[in-house]
Structure 1
Amino acid sequence: MVSSTSLGEMPDNVLNEILAYCDFKDVLSCRKVCRSLQHFIDDVFPESTLKDLNISIHSKKVCLDYFSVYNTPYIVEYHKTFGNHCMVKCQPTIKVIENSNFLNVFLRDLEIVLMHQKSLIRLIRIVRYEDNCFEYFLENFKKLLHRPLKIEEFHMYVKENQNEILKVLPHLDPQSIIGISLYQYGEEPKVLEIGEVVKLEHWKRSEQLHVDKCILKMNVRDLANFSLVDTSIDSVSTEDMTDLKEKLLDHLLLAEIYIRCTRFDDKQQFLKSLGIKEVSSDLYGITRRIWHFEIPNSDYVLQIAYRSQNNSFTFNRIQRRHVSDHAEVLNS
């Protein structure tokens, strides 16, 4: 007669060998087999191999959508069911965990994964669809991390309060971050005060900033460290824009900083201070006023373009040979 041995009864070295062949989805499934296996996995879980991590939080569901370093996509869903149970869907497996809050089950699984994530995560995206569950997640995010999380790109949907960002961003490793993207929760653009966010090392070290629908309330000077920017600013002044221009003249890695200005009271003063301009139109008939400024000891110039249609300014670092023959390169 052949005897059978359950996973929980196997020697540790055998379980380690088995787990070495499991991906994230399989390990989470194994954790829900029995308590002894759950405790073993929590202690010896092999290194996580996440590359992209997308967290979508709904009123009765959380979706954990991710890619491994092998570009394998996985989706794990945590559903609230009747009787305060949690249903975990990880196709093709469905598991019901009785008397368990779906948010707590999700948070515990995420904690285990992040605890063993040693390699760099390319991107983490946090999406909100409901306020209460999202706030619960934010309040518990810090508790999930046993060390600062190393990521390259941070994406987050925010409402109108920088405190939401401050509950996540400071707990990421500032040494690894290169991009920050902020998206407005809801349809109407809203002003987002980020005075405390710009003080973080994460902001100062980041190279790219993308903002969608949010109108940032901040000093435009605090964009000078970025190489690539696409954002709207609540209010700017000639003094601040002039200071930004001077800083960008020394920015060796500048690609493009694109700023839509909601309010610029002394704009004409700034435009006049730039000097002689070139006027051009694109294929759609949109007129631009363009200025070129010399960068000392360089084959590059700083190009500033202004579009009155959307009150926007673009700062680029371009090669001098790309400046049109009839344009004048001004002294900086």
Structure 2
Amino acid sequence: MTTLIHIPDVPLNLVLDYLDVRSIQVLRKVCRNLRNYIDDEKNVDPNILTIDLLVFTNVISLRFKDSRSWEPRTLIEYQRHPDGCLVVHFSSVGRRERLIAKQYFVKIFCMDFESILRHQKTVIQYLYMNFVHCIRNGKEVEQDLKLKPVASRFFTNFKEILQSRSHPLPVEEINMNIVYQKEVMSVLPFLDSTLLKYIIFLNARNRGRFFKTDEIIYLEQWKKAKELVLINFAVQIPLKSVFHAAEVHIELKKLTARDLYRLKKAFLKSRRARSFYIGYQHKEDDAKVVELLGTPYDDFENIMNDLYRRRRWFFRIPNNDRQALCIHFEDFSKFLFNRIKISEVSSTIDCISVCGKLL
């Protein structure tokens, strides 16, 4: 009778094609020969569709979905333990634990993650990474300080995993809850720039914290992305570095009237631009804005039976008789650039322009 380790390559590959990620990992641990075969066999695609990573001081939570599993999601936790690392597998039939003695939990996670992703070819719909910092009254507390060495070790190993792949990791959306640019630079440069569409960074600490982007904006991944979102960060960024995107959400440390004018010109020239959200911490006075954009249209908007004052500018889009650009000074605290249908512009508004001066 032929044993599992003596099955010829072709039928063994057929078996592997039917296995989900979890089953393949179990099979790897049967013996060294099987592990080496699976690790070397480039056609073993785990078919992972989504990845969620939560990193705490003492736990790394890995949740993923693959196209072959009958489980909605696979959840594995890597827990710091006095005697090493406790690996906990959760499923619909219960939980299974395994203690790996004298091993650091970050190292064990990275070893598993590397073996899972080694031959990933299927496009991952999204990769979500959240580093759970503890915030109290806007200040770092003890738990947050303890997370720093964990995050540092994690990103060092994670970068090595991505670098070791023969091809960039195919990801459509990257969503990171982080603090520093160096954390992004451990991941973003190693994603496939031809497939990456959405880049989303959220501040894991205090709202309005300054975030460096001087390295990120020169990456091909950034230059080719359709959507660029930086939430709760304040940035100093050359605005031309976002002009290529269809949707943008950023908050600038300082916004000038000249910035708004350049954004308007870029939006009108772009066939791709759909929506820009531009927040700011400091802004030039309104007189300079009016000088470059023209006199705004002020009225009131009825929201839940309450009237809210709004300020808007409308501009014709060259060679486009169906759409217009609306710049909305929302809540008098942020500017929203949106494509709207010409039919949505009230017939009482005749201040659509093409150069910043009223027609």
Pair 267,138 (structure 1): closer, same or farther in 2 beyond 3 Å: farther
SS in 2 for 1:119: coil
- Residue 143 of structure 2 corresponds to which residue in structure 1? none
SS in 1 for 2:324: strand
Structure 1 residues without counterparts, runs of 5 or longer: none
SS in 2 for 1:235: strand
Q: Could you tell me how far 1:20 is from its partner in structure 2?
A: 2.6
Residue 43 (1) aligns with residue 40 (2): yes
Deviations 1:155-212 (A, max 9, x none): 11111x2121112111111111111111111244311121221122211111112222
The code of the aligned residue for 1:93 comes to R
- Residue 197 of structure 1 corresponds to which residue in structure 2? 216
Residue 29 (1) aligns with residue 14 (2): no
Q: CA RMSD in A?
A: 2.3
Q: TM-score, normalising length from structure 1?
A: 0.89
Deviations 1:32-88 (A, max 9, x none): 344443333222371111111111112222111112236831111122222224434
Q: Which one of 118, 124, 129 corresponds to residue 126 of structure 1?
A: 129
How many residue pairs match? The answer is 327
Structure 2 residues without counterparts, runs of 5 or longer: 133-146
Pair 116,267 (structure 1): closer, same or farther in 2 beyond 3 Å: farther
SS in 1 for 2:320: coil
Residue 96 (1) aligns with residue 99 (2): yes
Q: Could you tell me how far 1:15 is from its partner in structure 2?
A: 4.2
Residue 158 (1) aligns with residue 178 (2): yes
Is the Cα–Cα contact under 8 Å of residues 221 and 240 in structure 1 kept in the other structure?
no
Which of 132-141 and 80-89 deviates more? 80-89
- Residue 302 of structure 1 corresponds to which residue in structure 2? 325
Q: How does 1:8-27 map to 2 (within 5 A)?
A: 8=5, 15-27=12-24
Pair 96,238 (structure 1): closer, same or farther in 2 beyond 3 Å: same
Q: Which one of 136, 144, 155 corresponds to residue 138 of structure 1?
A: 155
The code of the aligned residue for 2:326 comes to Q
Which of 181-190 and 241-250 deviates more? 181-190
Pair 302,168 (structure 1): closer, same or farther in 2 beyond 3 Å: same
- Residue 321 of structure 1 corresponds to which residue in structure 2? 343
Is the Cα–Cα contact under 8 Å of residues 127 and 175 in structure 2 kept in the other structure?
yes
Partner Cα distance (2:313, 2:85) in 1: 63
Residue 242 (1) aligns with residue 239 (2): no
Pair 119,154 (structure 1): closer, same or farther in 2 beyond 3 Å: same
- Residue 219 of structure 1 corresponds to which residue in structure 2? 238
Is the Cα–Cα contact under 8 Å of residues 220 and 241 in structure 1 kept in the other structure?
no
Pair 15,100 (structure 1): closer, same or farther in 2 beyond 3 Å: farther
Partner Cα distance (1:252, 1:125) in 2: 29
Partner Cα distance (1:320, 1:128) in 2: 44
Runs of 4+ residues deviating >6 angstroms: none
Pair 87,319 (structure 1): closer, same or farther in 2 beyond 3 Å: closer
- Residue 289 of structure 1 corresponds to which residue in structure 2? 311
Q: Could you tell me how far 1:280 is from its partner in structure 2?
A: 2.5
Is the Cα–Cα contact under 8 Å of residues 169 and 192 in structure 2 kept in the other structure?
yes
Q: Could you tell me how far 1:301 is from its partner in structure 2?
A: 1.6
Pair 331,10 (structure 1): closer, same or farther in 2 beyond 3 Å: closer
